[in-house]
Copies of this chain bind each other. A is one copy, B any other.
Amino acid sequence: MNEGFVVWITGLPCSGKTTISRILEDALKRRGLKVEVFDGDEVRRNLSPDLRFSKDAGETHVKRVAYMSKLLPRNDVAVIVALISPYIEIRRYARGLVENFVEVYTKCSIETCIQRNTKGLYKKALNCEITDFAEVQEPCEEPENPELVLDTEKQKPEENVERILLILRELELIG
């Protein structure tokens, strides 16, 4: 491989983005690829420590991540982004910025996400203890034409990663 790409995993909080991104990272590294993962918390701490959860702030943050994502693939690095990024418009912006953009939607019912939730964000948002958790209080906009929709309720993470690898092979982004 001498081309990078971005696997942009989008979905509700606790829909399985991080789990899948870690397994995918390992799978790609085993194939000898250079890989960087942009996952919510660490990236937010480094790029947007000043931002809270709100629509505008979220957009600014996603734009920053998109800009970073652009620089790595053109230097032959595979990038995995695991980010709630709930708005179609901003994902379209990211797609326009990045070559070889593969959008993956981790589809999962909000009830299951709430059950899985460990950080208590859902509970706080639903109890109105926090009022700017846009991803719960405004519904996520489902991707219109993602390259892949993963069912993270019925399928195991390993199976879902196999599906991502399959599509990367079909797109001739990995061998």
Which of A61-69, A109-117, A130-138, A155-163 contacts the other chain? A61-69
The A60-80 residues at the B interface (CB cut-off 8 A) are 60, 63-64, 67-68, 71-72, 75-77
Considering the complex, give the chain B residue whose CB is closest to the CB of A64.
Answer: B47
Is the contact region of chain A dominated by helix, strand, or loop, or is it mixed?
helix
A sample of 15 more A-B contacts (CB under 8 A), given A46-B63, A50-B60, A71-B72, is: A34-B75, A34-B76, A36-B71, A36-B75, A46-B64, A46-B67, A47-B67, A49-B60, A64-B64, A68-B68, A68-B71, A72-B72, A72-B75, A75-B75, A75-B76
Give the B-binding residues of A (Cβ under 8 A): 34, 36, 46-47, 49-50, 60, 63-64, 67-68, 71-72, 75-77
Considering the complex, give the chain B residue whose CB is closest to the CB of A4.
Answer: B75
Considering the complex, give the chain B residue whose CB is closest to the CB of A63.
Answer: B46
For residue A80, give the distance in angstroms from its CB to the closest CB of chain B. Answer: 13
For residue A100, give the distance in angstroms from its CB to the closest CB of chain B. Answer: 16
Considering the complex, give the chain B residue whose CB is closest to the CB of A56.
Answer: B50
Could you give 21 example pairs across A and B, Cβ below 8 Å?
A34-B75, A34-B76, A36-B71, A36-B75, A46-B63, A46-B64, A46-B67, A47-B47, A47-B64, A47-B67, A49-B60, A50-B60, A64-B64, A68-B68, A68-B71, A71-B72, A72-B72, A72-B75, A75-B75, A75-B76, A75-B77
For residue A119, give the distance in angstroms from its CB to the closest CB of chain B. Answer: 23
